[in-house]
Each structure stands twice: as structure tokens, then as C-alpha cells.
Structure 1
Amino acid sequence: MTKLSDDLKRMLTSLAYQDAGEFLSTRDKMKALGITAKPNDAGSSPALKMVSKPASDRIAFISDGRGRGAPLDYAIDTCLRLGARIDLLIHSADDKTEITALEDRIRSTGLYCQTIQLSEEPVGDILNYIHNQPSIVSIVAMPDDAAAKRIVEEMIPGHSGHIDVPLVLLGDRSSPRPSKQSAA
């Protein structure tokens, strides 16, 4: 009977710690676990600055000016559901009217839009963007977008088969579908 009682106590304690883990700050969690912070040594790295409120969530939309159909609609709907904003990651866009049309479509929904022009090496820029934006929720792109293809073919396999955020690939309704050929 005491074995069962000890098991029940352990289970209840673990449930209490799980509940506390969802609502307590990191400092309070460490205190509850009995872990105390060690004083900083002169050679240790400086303490990280705690941010009281995280930056607003972001959806990154990778485009070369295309994608005003389903991909942009998906990004806008996701932002409206999450209360997020859109960052347009633009690459290889010669026609500024297409970019302006994307920005106007986003702003017409009342969302904040930031346009970021990528360099000639967009994959490295996108990797830096993901690393420097902890509030990014997902990346949306078209499957036939050159930068998105390179992310899938090069960046993901080069990083243990994953990136830190979901990559959503959606075909554009307005783009013509390639004809499928049979293998016969």
C-alpha cells in the first residue's frame, strides 16, 4: 500500500510541476525545482536581457512578385487568425508594380506589412532572417518559386532535414497548371 501511495504522490507532484511549468516564469520554475542561479564569474558571458513581451508574431511571405492568389490569401488569413503581421521577403523582382500590388493587397486587409529585399543569395538571407526573428510563425511560398525550391533542395537537407519554422508551399490559383504527361 505504501508503494501505491508513493506512486500517487509522485504522479501528483509531476502534475503540479507540469501545471507550474505552463504558468510560472523561468526563475520561478528553477526555484520550485531547487535550482539556484550561480553568481556570475568574471569570465562568464553577460546575462541575457529578458524581454517582458515578445514581439508580435510574423508570417514570412517569400515572393518574386507572384503569389497574389492562394499563397497570399493563406498568409493573410493566418495573420488575421493569429494577430500576426506579414514580412514580404522579395527576391529577383524586376517589376516593382507586382510588389506594390502585393503590399496593397496586404494593407487593404488592415495588416502591417514590412517589405524586405533579399540579396542575390536569397537562401542565406532567409536563413539569417529565420535566425534573427524569433517571433516568426511560418514561411509561405509558392512551390515553383526559385528561392523556395532552393530552401527545400539545399537548406533543409543541409540543416539535419529541418528548419526552425514550418514552410508552407501553396500553388497560385491564377498561375497556369503544367500539363501532366503519362509515363506510357
Structure 2
Amino acid sequence: MTNALTLAAATDDAARHGVFTLNGFPFWAVYAAAFCLVMARAQATYWLGRGVARGLGGSRVASVLEGPRAVVVVGRIHRWGPPAVTLSFLTVGVQTVVNLCAGYLRMPFGRYLVALFFGCLIWAAVWTTVGTAAVYAAIWLFLLHPAALAAALVLVAGGAWWWLRRRRDRLATTTVEPL
């Protein structure tokens, strides 16, 4: 009985405020907050990468990155890196690594900022629509059938583990050509 009442209250709240809101705030406010949050986080990661690169000056890693082959590779990253920065925001976790590497490899800030801007627009759109809907669905599933939510989470975690293990095994069997 309490599950039905709680579900009715959640359904009423969603009907009054809309699914893509947070506690009654309009979509545009949630979107703007998400955009600002991801912009600040990505910038901090980029500048952390720049700081790490500066701290490694004169080290063995720095000398490798200044070699003739590495200069060619870094040039390609500077040229083709901005699309990678933008597209990384369609993934979970990869954008942090890409932003850190962009800073570490000293991607020109103007190019990085343009790519980051569009990536943050994408990220905020995905998480304020699909992400919010997924959270509401998980809450409703928990209210109706908590065991079903637990089973769904176990399935997702198991699928992620299987995929990562398969990927790791596949990468272990491939050979890497030197630069």
C-alpha cells in the first residue's frame, strides 16, 4: 500500500513539474547548471594536465615527448584532438582522460576551449534529458519492485565487467607497432 502511495506522489510530482526537472526547477535552469558544472570540472582537469606537464620538465618522460617522432604525434593530436575532446563527452569517464591528456600535451587553449564548449553543450543535454529520465525510472522501479532494480543493477555491472574483461583480453593479444 505504501509503495502505491509513494508511486502516486512521485507520478503527481512528475506531472506537475515535468520529468526533466529537478525539484521543480525548469529544464533550462537544470541544463545551465549542468553546463557550468561540467565546464568547470573539465577546465580543472585540463589545467591539472598542464601542471603535471610543467612539473615533469627535464624528466625522462619530457625528453621522450620532445623527440622527433613524438613531436609528429603531438602535432597530430593538436590538430585532431579538438574533435576527440568534443566527442569524449558522449562517454562516461573517457572525457576526464581526454581533458587531462589535452592539458598534458599542451593542446592550444583556443582550440581546446571551442571543442570543450561544444562537448559541454552535448554533455549537459544528454544528462539533463536521458540522465534525468533514467534517474526517475530507477526511482519508480525502486518504489514498485526494489528487487527488480537490484537485479537490473547486477545485470548492468555484470555486463560492464564482461565487456571490460573481453576488451582487456583482446588488447593483450594485439601487438603494438613502435612509433
Instruction: Report the TM-score range of the alignment, normalised by the length of the smaller protein.
Output: under 0.3
Structure with a larger share of its residues in strand: 1
The TM-score normalised by the length of structure 2 is: 0.22
